[in-house]
Amino acid sequence: MKKMSFVFTLLAAVAMLLSACGPAATTAAPAPATQAPVAPVLLPTLPPPTVAPTATAAPKLKVGEVTDLGGVNDKSFNALAWKGVQDAMDQLGVDGKFLQSTQQSDYAKNIQQMLSENEDLIVTVGFLLGVDTATAAKANPNQKFAIVDYTYPDCYPGAVEGKDCGSSTDLTNVRGLAFQTDQAGFLAGYLAAGMTKTGTVGTWGGIQIPTVTIFMDGFEAGVKYYNLKHTTTVKVLGWDAATQKGTFIGNFNSLDDGKNTATSMAQEGADIIMPVAGGAGLGSAAYCQTSTKCLIIGVDTDWFVSSPDYANVELSSVQKKIDVAVFKTIQDVVNGKFTGGTVTYTLADGGVDLAPFHNFDSQVPQALKDEIAKVKADIISGAVTVQGVLTAK
């Protein structure tokens, strides 16, 4: 019995030991306290960010110049027209370019090139481009043109339109820029007559076309008016307005021709010479400078400024302010005020004038200066006219 009791005791001990080595009883964790739900934070709805559109610059207005044979560096009317374009580039923000003509067959070709490049305004320079400009303008009625030293209608009895003349009617898409250079030429002739020491003065031209001979008409009228006022007999070489015959070299660029013409006139006694021949006139200035036998009156621009190398022989110049006329035309296109037809510049509006005497100012008598001022006022008022003097007996 004792033995059985021991066995039961041992079994009970083993059971207790196994119970101690087993997994601990699982106790449920207390439930967390119940919390009120958190309301979501609502952000305000914002419009999508506005992206400023990239500013698109308006296309620049395009201006193209087609030169006459003298080229853009002729220090005369082609250069003045280009200065007007350059001034518009600087002040109005336009784009400008030029095409130079070296022969008359280049005119139509260069105008067509400008048309193909969609220039907003095409400026042609000089009388010789009159027919080609009109032909292009009539074929392209929406294209704006301006032409220096030419106006329409230009046809005369018997002329073939498109060959001998440009148009028998006004052209609404072409602005003709005209200048009463005979008015300023009149002042130059009066000055020359008052300053000559030999009693002989001269004028000569490049090509015998109206925009050249108009200077010479005025010059002769000024000399004649001085003779009428002072009972003098100053003689004019190189031009006779009554017969429309005179001295012409046939071009606007030969310095040698200009020099030879001045040489001939000086040999005949002329001590003041007015060449109307673009760059070729500088040949005369060179002769007067080296020979010291004559003084020069320039044309188109103030030669004291454009050709300062000859300042010591430049008495004055007949100014034709082509640059102002071209600039104003471009300005009208920019402002939407362009019109065709003719715009004529005169002494009254300052479009033509006699340049200052510069180095010769002290040598021109005050009495002569006063007379020239009076003559200018009389021309502006209409009391004196070029044709009235030329036809006076």
**CATH code of residue 91:** 3.40.50.2300
Of 136, 159, 179, the residue at which a domain comes to its end is 179
Q: Are residues 366 and 227 in the same domain?
A: yes
Angle ∠(289,82,216) on CA atoms, nearest 5: 50
**115: its two tokens:** 């048309």
Residues near 162 by beta carbon (within 8 Å), at least 6 away in sequence:
131, 134, 135
Query: Would residue 2 count as lying in a domain?
Result: no
Q: Are residues 187 and 170 in the same domain?
A: no
Angstrom distance (rounded) from CA 165 to CA 171: 13
Q: Are residues 205 and 253 in the same domain?
A: yes
Which runs of consecutive H residues, i.e. helices, occur in the chain? 2-21, 77-92, 106-116, 130-139, 181-195, 210-230, 255-267, 281-291, 303-306, 322-334, 366-381, 386-390
Q: Are residues 165 and 276 in the same domain?
A: no
Q: How many CB atoms lie within 10 A of CB 256?
A: 11
Query: Would residue 37 count as lying in a domain?
Result: no
Give just the sign of the alpha carbon dihedral 136, 140, 141, 142.
negative
Query: Would residue 5 count as lying in a domain?
Result: no
Taking alpha carbons only, the member of 262, 261, 300, 293 closest to residue 279 is 300
Q: Are residues 70 and 149 in the same domain?
A: yes
Of 179, 207, 242, the residue at which a domain comes to its end is 179
Residues of the chain with pLDDT under 70: 1-58
Instruction: With residue 43 as reference, give the H or E element that holds it.
Output: none
Q: Are residues 135 and 96 in the same domain?
A: yes
Angstrom distance (rounded) from CA 27 to CA 369: 129
Query: Would residue 121 count as lying in a domain?
Result: yes
Instruction: With residue 274 as reference, give the H or E element that holds it.
Output: strand 272-276
Angstrom distance (rounded) from CA 235 to CA 193: 8
Q: Are residues 95 and 217 in the same domain?
A: no
Bridge partner list, 331 = none
Query: Would residue 347 count as lying in a domain?
Result: no
Query: Would residue 72 count as lying in a domain?
Result: yes
Bridge partner list, 236 = 201
The number of domains in the chain is: 2
Q: Are residues 67 and 173 in the same domain?
A: yes
- Which pLDDT score is estimated for 26? 41
Q: Are residues 78 and 164 in the same domain?
A: yes
Q: Are residues 209 and 245 in the same domain?
A: yes
Q: Are residues 173 and 187 in the same domain?
A: no
Angstrom distance (rounded) from CA 280 to CA 300: 13
Query: Would residue 151 count as lying in a domain?
Result: yes
Angstrom distance (rounded) from CA 122 to CA 97: 10
Of 145, 179, 213, the residue at which a domain comes to its end is 179
Q: Are residues 98 and 172 in the same domain?
A: yes
Query: Would residue 56 count as lying in a domain?
Result: no
- Which pLDDT score is estimated for 16? 42
**287: its two tokens:** 């002769």
Residue 309 belongs to what domain range?
Answer: 181-320+357-390
